[in-house]
Structure 1
Amino acid sequence: MARYIKRGKVWQYEISYKDADGKYKKLRKSGFPKKADAISEAGEIEANLAKGFYTVSQDILLTDHFKQWIEIFKKGKVSDGTYRKYLYTLSVLKKHFSTATIKTMNRVKYQEMLNEFAEGHSDSSVKQINVHVRASLENLLDDFIIKNDFTKGAISKGGKGTKSAELKYLDFQDFIKLIAFAKEKINPIYSSSFMIYIAAMTGMRFSELLGLTWDNVDFEKGQIYVKRTWDIYKNNFAPTKNDQSVRFLAVDSSTLQVMIKIL
């Protein structure tokens, strides 16, 4: 129940309520020139409390919320590469959303800030930022800390032109030329051509190729056992992207002969 107090020339409201933990708290705000203004705002807050939307006394920056979220829910629970993507999103928020708070942000403000970042960035970069921020809001929505998802309906369109399919992908004929060229340039001293050739013939990821050792190649059965990767940031072996990535790959006899020559 709210009560209203006149302090000098302005009005103040005071609302007593019970939070999510069952503890009684008070929320006060003054500075209203008219009592009707205080009643109007207090009434809206009480209506939200009645619906289960708990009022937090302290607003927090979106950057602080996101940093806390990734440290609790992502750090140590996703791959290092994936976690670096979340850290990149945090750096973008600090640059383009530095003054945004979880309680004052709305769809218009969010889209404006997203548009600011979109200039000079691709569609995929903008989409990644939006996906990360949206995921971080789920707890706030579930706990009734905020009422609306301000990322809903956001347009993730970058200002940087996307590459055409011709620039992004090789057609079959170019792929055949690449395989032939890489095979011709294979040299035991330099690994680049060899890795390109093996990647083309097996479909292995770059990090999986870096983590491949000869003891995981079975020349008799014609198989490669993919069980780990190489982390270029930590300069050490690392797990595969997921459990499904641990697998045996069949290798044709021609590719095996190329590998034997290198061995």
Structure 2
Amino acid sequence: MYTTTTNNTMLFCDYYKQWITVYKEGAIRPVTMSKYNMAHQWLEKLIPNLTIGELDRFSYQKLLNDYAMSHERQTTMDFHHHLKCAILDAVDEGLILRDPTRKAIIKGKTPRKKKPKYLNQYELHKLLDNLDLKSEVNLDWLILLIAKTGMRFSEALALTPKDFDLSRQMLSVSKTWDYKNHTGFLPTKNKSSIRKIPLDWQTVMQFAELVKRLPEDEPIFVNGKIYNSTINSVLARHCKEVDIPIISIHGLRHTHASLLLFAGVSIASVARRLGHSNITTTQKTYLHIIQELESKDIDLIMRALSNLN
């Protein structure tokens, strides 16, 4: 426990770094840890000389405002959340007299025009028809598999031939691949991400032929270092060639889920297939589609009720 007399003169950026080390290191995923470290870097840039004792509502709001000048509102909100936990701990320890984050106003730059997040069924057909599915493994096979399963990029990279249960038409997802730090296999995002995804017979036949001569326990799609930007470039090239919106590899996951929802698959089933920890995540992510489907449902309900006369 820190003491007010000796530590309220400590630089806040130093306190925050120490707080990350004590409370977060080893307890959160590396990708989340990198966000906390990035927040610390911004503190060193924006308030390098501010002590804990000087952190009040005015100085905290100015920090958020300065950060917001070069970031969108949602990014500023995330920055605020990454700092708030540490600040509340400092309040509990008596280093700060009052919560400076209370009633904080979140600002931000005007959001950039959003890229399309997913393709419609016609556009997806055009994309898949343009893939060059050779007899040997290439990144086009990875694009096909993510489009057909809705897997996360890191999950798809971690797949080995052993994960395919071709006789039962199932694909097991139980790990991810660290494509950012290149350390190999990692656990899944959460327990719900460990799942079995049913495959259509056509995909089963295609991958049965592709993986039959590959080592059982080695990643199918990893040959040296692989980057998110590489697969996005390949995907963008295909999108341009067939004149459809350019989406990211994660956009294929959104495309998969969207097509299932429009086909009438329940939210619960889509959530399980995607490996979401709860249905709420699926509802929030695909709210716009759900609202569109609800509008169609109202028309169906009215038609059904009018036929009762």
TM-score relative to the length of structure 1: 0.71
* Matches for 1:143-222 after TM superposition, within 5 Å: 143-164=93-114, 167-173=115-121, 176-177=124-125, 179-181=127-129, 184-189=131-136, 191-222=138-169
- Aligned equivalent of 2:178, options 231, 236, 242: 231
Cα contact 2:178–2:186 (8 A) shared by 1:
yes
Q: Which residue does the alignment assign to 2:57?
A: 107
Q: Which residue does the alignment assign to 1:245?
A: 193
AA matched with 2:67: F
AA matched with 1:222: Q
Cα distance in 1 for partners of 2:153, 2:88 equals 34
Cα contact 2:154–2:178 (8 A) shared by 1:
yes
Q: Secondary structure at the match of 2:106?
A: coil
Please report how far the alpha carbon of residue 96 of structure 1 lies from its aligned counterpart in structure 2 after TM superposition. Answer: 1.2
Cα distance in 2 for partners of 1:155, 1:191 equals 48
- Aligned equivalent of 1:116, options 42, 66, 79: 66
Q: Secondary structure at the match of 1:234?
A: coil
Note closer, same or farther for the CA distance 1:148–1:76 as it changes in structure 2 (3 Å cut): same
Cα distance in 2 for partners of 1:196, 1:85 equals 28
Count how many residue pairs are aligned between Structure 1 and Structure 2.
209
Cα distance in 2 for partners of 1:160, 1:123 equals 8
Q: Which residue does the alignment assign to 1:259?
A: 207
Q: Secondary structure at the match of 1:154?
A: coil
Q: State yes or no: 1:135 paired with 2:85.
A: yes
Note closer, same or farther for the CA distance 1:240–1:257 as it changes in structure 2 (3 Å cut): same
AA matched with 1:240: T
Please report how far the alpha carbon of residue 234 of structure 1 lies from its aligned counterpart in structure 2 after TM superposition. Answer: 3.1
Q: Which residue does the alignment assign to 1:28?
A: none
Cα distance in 2 for partners of 1:84, 1:102 equals 23
Cα distance in 2 for partners of 1:213, 1:249 equals 14
- Aligned equivalent of 2:6, options 35, 48, 57: 57
Please report how far the alpha carbon of residue 66 of structure 1 lies from its aligned counterpart in structure 2 after TM superposition. Answer: 1.0
Greater Rg by CA: 1
Note closer, same or farther for the CA distance 1:137–1:223 as it changes in structure 2 (3 Å cut): same
RMSD of the TM alignment (CA)? 2.3
Cα distance in 1 for partners of 2:80, 2:136 equals 44
Cα contact 1:195–1:209 (8 A) shared by 2:
yes
AA matched with 2:120: F
Q: Which structure's residues are more often strand, by fraction?
A: 1
Q: Deviations over 1:214-236 (max 9, x none)?
A: 10110011111111111121331
Note closer, same or farther for the CA distance 1:160–1:61 as it changes in structure 2 (3 Å cut): farther
Q: Which structure's residues are more often helix, by fraction?
A: 2
AA matched with 1:230: W
Cα contact 1:134–1:149 (8 A) shared by 2:
no
Q: Which residue does the alignment assign to 2:293?
A: none
Please report how far the alpha carbon of residue 63 of structure 1 lies from its aligned counterpart in structure 2 after TM superposition. Answer: 0.8
Cα contact 2:55–2:96 (8 A) shared by 1:
no
Cα contact 1:224–1:249 (8 A) shared by 2:
yes
Q: Mark the runs of 5 or more structure 2 residues left unpaired by the alignment.
A: 212-309
Cα distance in 2 for partners of 1:249, 1:55 equals 54
Please report how far the alpha carbon of residue 137 of structure 1 lies from its aligned counterpart in structure 2 after TM superposition. Answer: 1.7
AA matched with 1:244: S
Note closer, same or farther for the CA distance 1:158–1:219 as it changes in structure 2 (3 Å cut): same
Q: Secondary structure at the match of 1:98?
A: coil
Cα distance in 2 for partners of 1:186, 1:174 equals 20
Q: Mark the runs of 5 or more structure 1 residues left unpaired by the alignment.
A: 1-19, 22-53
Cα contact 1:106–1:150 (8 A) shared by 2:
yes
Q: Deviations over 1:60-92 (max 9, x none)?
A: 111111111111111111111111111111111
